[in-house]
Amino acid sequence: MTHEVVGRVEESGAELAALADDNEALGKLSDRTVELLRSAGVIRMLQPKAYGGYEAHPRDFAEAVMAVARHDGAAGWVCGVVGVHPWELAQMDPRLAQEVWGDDPDTWIASPYMPNGIAEPVDGGYVLSGRWPFSSGSDHCRWDFLGALLGNGNGKGRPAQPITVLHVVLPRSDYEIIEGSWDVVGLSGTGSKDVVVDKAFVPSHRAIRQEAVQEGVAAEEFGINDTLYRLPFSSMFPLGITSAVIGICEGALALHLAQQKERVAVTGVQVRDDPYVLYAAGEAAAEVAASRVQLLDGISRLYDKAESGQKITVEDRADVRRNQVRCAWRAVGALDQIFTRSGGNAIRRNNPMQRYWRDAHVGLQHMIHVPGAAYHANALAGMGLELPEPMRVLI
């Protein structure tokens, strides 16, 4: 059954698509695009019901992200990234949820999780400084999740040993968004700008150890037993991003078929009578569909395992990560096959096909789509061998 949020996205799909060029030109989502996304409720899919969310199955969340990305890749990307943050926030101290959503359940939270800052421990919390790139959707968010290394307490900005990574949450008043820091060839409308923090105090209840979220055990500390909030970070965070990439490829495929229907090639033959172009389109459709099915299957299997009380093993997580990476590459590879057969008009700026193509390839640049470490870790896990510590971070 299609989730109601997906239905609302489809109802506004034509307008979302019409706004995509504006978003690209702005270098961020337009206010109207954000209004449509808020109205549809995409960002609240994984949010607790107690704070106006749906607590939806992660499969439904992924399908909602895909639905948005089919119309506008940048909007889909923001939904995939920002939409995961309510899921993590729900696993933290309830005081933080009240601060963020108490007055407005439609408050959005941005992120970059890379540990580009140092959080020096002080009485009652931490003092944080650093600079983080790629804060998607930051112009429309009032809080930001930031990755940070725990400091050693000497006040000199040195990390503690062994290394401990924290996720900390700051209000908009505590960080600066750097204008002009997002000038890119694709996904321009995501507004993934740099943010800077200079000695901001972070109360301890606004911080969480990355390891606890990674292992899916953070929620237990606060008596939260819902299946949704016991899933591993390394499965949930990539889900939104890869869903956006697959949705972009679905949108490109639909546009390709629509444009080729009446196209006449330079040979004078109608493309719909060209078996080579149609073969490529059919094969691409199968590859994109396979990516969608495999991604949804992976997170559904983990959810079912958690719901039945079974332990999600490192091998389970490594399998889902391997497949998630492959889904993205398979879908974009299929897009390449149809783009090269879309004719010269596909490269014109006024043809959305070239934007889909650019957005999809920029989506592959995200670290969660790098195949080497994910495939390597999966092979080791399949052999029953211990993963080296750095390799466990995204597994």
| Paired strand residues for 159 | 151
pLDDT of res. 266: 66
pLDDT at 273: 76
Ordered domains of the chain (ranges, CATH): 4-101 (1.10.540.10), 109-209 (2.40.110.10), 231-392 (1.20.140.10)
pLDDT at 101: 98
pLDDT at res. 320: 98
Residues 236-295 pLDDT 10s: 999 999 999 999 999 999 999 999 888 877 677 787 878 888 899 999 999 999 999 999
Q: What is the dihedral of CA 128, 44, 82, 16, to 10 degrees?
A: -150
Give the per-residue pLDDT at 262.
85
Reduce the DSSP state of residue 29 to 3 states and report it.
Answer: coil
Query: In one letter, which amino acid is 361?
Result: H
Q: What is the pLDDT of residue 293?
A: 98
DSSP string, 52-120: T-----HHHHHHHHHHHHHH-HHHHHHHHHHTTHHHHHTTS-HHHHHHHHSS-TT--EE---SEEEEEE
Mean pLDDT of 64-78: 98
- Residue 1: band (very low, low, confident or very high) from pLDDT cuts 50, 70, 90: confident
Q: What is the mean pLDDT of residues 30-42?
A: 98
Averaged pLDDT score across all residues of the chain: 95
Mean pLDDT of all residues in 364-382: 96
193: helix, strand or coil: strand
Q: How far apart are CA 357 and CA 251, in angstroms?
A: 10
For residue 149, the cross-strand partners are: 118, 165
Give the pLDDT confidence score for residue 389 in this predicted structure.
Answer: 81
pLDDT of the residue at 271:
75
DSSP symbols for 348-366: STTSHHHHHHHHHHHHHTS
Rg (CA), the chain: 21
Q: Check residue 154 and give its pLDDT.
A: 85
pLDDT at 250: 98
Length reported for the chain:
395
